[in-house]
Amino acid sequence: EGNTALHHLAQTLSSETEASLKVLTNSGLSLEVKNKAGRTALLSAALSLNLEGVKALLRAGAQKEAVDHEGLN
């Protein structure tokens, strides 16, 4: 799938692991990196039904308008 560490984190992100998200973004990792399907971490979190992850990524500045190769957002 071409997922990055951020994509994997997004699928299981919770309030307990939100600090890991801050470490990645503070090191310069873009929240808008896409995997091979064109999905950002935000879309990965949403497709995993991870509401806490979606909220954390939005707080961190993820763009909710991003669209994957299938037109999902």
pLDDT digits (tens, 9 = 90+) for 27-62: 998 999 999 999 999 999 999 999 999 999 999 999
User: Is the Cβ–Cβ distance between 54 and 20 less than 8 Å?
Assistant: no
Phi, psi of 42 (to 5 degrees): -60, -45
Residue 7 clears pLDDT 80, i.e. is over it = yes
Q: What is the share, in percent, of the chain residues with pLDDT greater than 70? A: 100
Break the chain down into helix, strand, coil percent, rounded to 5: 45, 0, 55
